[in-house]
Amino acid sequence: MAIYLDYNATTPVDPAVLDAMLPYLAENFANASSVHSPGQRARAAVDEARESVARLIGAKPAEIVFTGGGTEADNLAVFGAVGASKGPRKHVITTSIEHHAVLHACQALEKQGIDVTYIAANSDARDGIVDAESVRRAIRPETALISVMHANNELGTIQPVEQIGAIAREAGVLFHCDAVQSAGKLPIDVNRIGANLLSLSAHKIYGPKGVGALYVRTGSRIEPQIRGGQHERGLRPGTENVPGIVGMGKAAELARIRLADDSAKISALRDRLEAALLQNVPSIRINGYSSRRVGNTTNITFPGASGESLVIALDLHGIACSTGAACSSGAIEPSHVLLALGLSDDNARSSLRFSLGRNTTSAEIDRALATIPAVVEKLRALSPRYTAAAPVAVGEGD
């Protein structure tokens, strides 16, 4: 069987989640907005799921708005907050290492004439952390929104969101936090974070694809981006995806219950993977190593070996992982996150992300460690640009 080390991309649906969903794909198929009894049973299931998601992040059920996924939640937060803000001039603050769901939304706002400030990660320390004080200094009288992720999807680095939330609150600015990659890996309390808006995705926490949620703090105004009925407080019109919402609710319940056990087990496996690769593969660099990270993620640069080639070669050996690159018009572009850390184009293109999950076993890590060094060595031997060097200190390089 394949060794799956790409849990940050998506997770398998937990069997208990599937069991919870199945009745709403068959006999309990009614529209949750219908007033008849079958419809009200569907409505009750949606309400129960809303309570479960709210408990995961310390929110009130009425503050949870279900969406079609994390990207939609991010877009609703960014466009919705700016659309609801008053004044002729508007300004947004975000970071250079956000997920494209936020970055591309901000770029679209710029085309509309809205100013966006992109706070850089700490490229001097190369730790993948944004400086909270840089956010404070970027605030203007017309700032409508600050959007900073909780955990980076490529590095796993945890951002100082509580500090940023306090800064936003002090300035009277809405604060959006993309928690898609931290939910189920870190405890989340929207009140401690100080978030007005917070995005979640079901398929990152062993739930189904195609469903997510946006936390909207009571009193925070955002403008709906889809027009239609009054579903989800009028912020996300459209017939609710009852099976998906039920699945997200069950996944949120399991994530809350299993958080401590999952984190301890997965972190130990990730640390063992990193330590063995550092010992057995020369000249590698672990990106963001010196930072506080979620326990399942490691991003490693293998100088002299193309990341794309590594992914293909490892896949042929039954190991699934990913690069930090995005495919655009058939051309592989280096990861914007790794470039923001100060890596060269070549080293950014020579990096892999391994992300572990609930189902990862010690035996799988052993098999991966028996395979990865040899694959890297073979690809380096074929590279005219690679010269063996002394091992690079963790977190250094370029």
Q: How far is residue 338's CA from residue 335's CA, in Å, rounded to a whole number?
A: 5
Q: What is the pLDDT of residues 137-174, one digit of tens each?
A: 999 999 999 999 999 999 999 999 999 999 999 999 99
Residue 336: both structure tokens together: 């914007």
Q: How far is residue 96's CA from residue 76's CA, in Å, rounded to a whole number?
A: 20
Q: What is the pLDDT of residues 9-33, one digit of tens each?
A: 999 999 999 999 999 999 999 988 8
What is the DSSP secondary-structure string of 276-319? Answer: HHHHHSTT-EETTTTS-B-TTEEEEE-TTS-HHHHHHHHHHTTE
Q: What is the pLDDT of residues 98-142, one digit of tens each?
A: 999 999 999 999 999 999 999 998 755 568 999 999 999 999 999
Taking the alpha carbons of 188, 194, 196, 197 in that order, is the dihedral positive or negative?
A: negative
- Range 15-255 has CATH code 3.40.50.1110: no
Q: How far is residue 314's CA from residue 368's CA, in Å, rounded to a whole number?
A: 9
CA 131-69-201 angle, 5° bins: 60
How large is the average pLDDT for residues 303-320? 96
Q: What is the pLDDT of residue 225?
A: 86
How large is the average pLDDT for residues 54-81? 97
Query: What single DSSP character describes residue 226?
Result: S
325 pLDDT more than 70: no
Q: Could you tell me the residue ranges of all domains in the chain?
A: 3-7+259-381, 15-255
Burial class from Cβ neighbours inside 10 Å (0-12, 13-18, 19+) for residue 381 reads exposed
Q: What is the pLDDT of residue 326?
A: 43
CATH architecture, range 3-7+259-381:
Alpha-Beta Complex (3.90)
Tell me which residues are annotated as active site: 327
Q: What is the pLDDT of residues 275-301, one digit of tens each?
A: 999 999 999 999 998 889 999 999 999
Burial class from Cβ neighbours inside 10 Å (0-12, 13-18, 19+) for residue 37 reads exposed
